[in-house]
Amino acid sequence: MEQIKAYLDQIATISQSDWDFFTSKLQPRFIKKKAVFLKLNEIENHISFIESGVVRLFIPKENPDKEITFGFSFKDQFISAYDSFLTQTPSAYQLQALTDTTLLSITYADLQEVYKKTQIGNLIGRLTAERLFLIKSKREQNLLNLSAEERYMKLFKERPELLKVIPLKYISSYIGVTAQALSRIRKRI
φ, ψ of residue 73 to 5 degrees: the values are: -130, 150
**pTM, two decimal places:** 0.90
Q: Across the strands, what pairs with 28?
A: 104
Residues in the chain predicted with pLDDT less than 70, given as ranges, are none
* CA 18 to each of CA 27, 128, 185: distance values in angstroms, whole numbers, following the listed order: 17, 17, 49
- In the prediction, which pLDDT does 56 show? 95
- In the prediction, which pLDDT does 33 show? 97
User: 3-class SS at 80?
Assistant: coil
- In the prediction, which pLDDT does 25 show? 96
- In the prediction, which pLDDT does 188 show? 87
Residues in the chain: 189
- In the prediction, which pLDDT does 13 show? 86
Integer Cα distance of 184 and 38 in angstroms: 33
Q: Across the strands, what pairs with 68?
A: 59
Q: Are 25 and 49 in contact (CB under 8 A)?
A: no
